[in-house]
Amino acid sequence: MKVPAEMENAFIPGQRGVIVPYNRKVNPRVQYRLAQAELIKSSASLAEKYPKLKALTVDLVYLDAFGTRQNGGMKYKVNLEHAKSLFSFNCVHADCVGGDYDLSDELSSGISRKVKLVEGEVRCQGVRHNKDRKSQDPCQSILRYKLTLGY
Ligand SMILES: [Zn+2]
């Protein structure tokens, strides 16, 4: 009997535990992250898409859904050569799937109007999966952002 190539060495008699059943549960958050990462990677860099833009500083504050508790933040100068024009930030909640804060449109309209400051708030549209309670709730966490643009 001829064994197909992919079946060769699939099982070696007498060596228990060689074959590991591949039934790892697919993690929806990881799946979403990977898909998003692909999308972002394939988008043009900010320098390519907005040649007029010479500097960009991002100031972010993460808040809970009620806008009261702060969950961290960051401020940094964006590297226009490396940063992508799909300008999206991850939701800070580890149990949130399908969310994130996509500021691509805000950035794009700011640049086309040549404004120096774009600020506002966006809500995460993801869903938080609570494993213990087996519940799924809208995330709605807030990102308060300030984009300082230079031309
Ligand atoms: Zn979220």
Q: What are the residue boundaries of the structural domains of the chain, listed by start?
A: 45-150
Cα–Cα–Cα angle for 10, 13, 19, nearest 5°? 40
Distance 84 CA to ligand 1 centre (A): 21
In this prediction, residue 23 carries a pLDDT of 47
- How many angstroms does the Cα of residue 94 sit away from the middle of ligand 1? 8
Q: Confirm if 116 and 148 have CB atoms less than 8 A apart.
A: yes
3-state secondary structure of 94: coil
pLDDT tens digits, residue range 123-141?
999 999 888 888 899 999 9
H-helix or E-strand containing 112? helix 104-112
Q: Which residue has the higher pLDDT, 26 or 24?
A: 26
How far away, in angstroms, is 129 Cα from ligand 1 center?
10
Q: How far is the CA of 135 from the centre of ligand 1 (A)?
A: 15
Residues 68-107 pLDDT 10s: 999 899 999 999 999 999 999 999 998 999 989 999 999 9
138 CA → ligand 1 middle, Å: 8
The Å distance, Cα 50 to ligand 1 centre, comes to 28
Ligand 1 center to 65 CA (angstroms): 9
Q: Which two tokens stand for residue 45?
A: 């860099």
CA 86 / ligand 1 centre spacing (Å): 18
pLDDT higher than threshold 80 for residue 112: yes
**Tokens matching residue 143:** 């990102």
pLDDT at 108: 97
Segment 40-74, tens digit of pLDDT:
989 999 999 999 999 999 999 999 999 999 989 99
Q: How far is the CA of 49 from the centre of ligand 1 (A)?
A: 28
Six token digits for residue 12 = 């070696």
Q: What is the mean pLDDT of residues 25-29?
A: 76
CA–CA gap between residue 73 and residue 58 (Å, rounded): 10
User: What angle (nearest 5°) sits at the alpha carbon of residue 53, between those of residues 72 and 38?
Assistant: 60
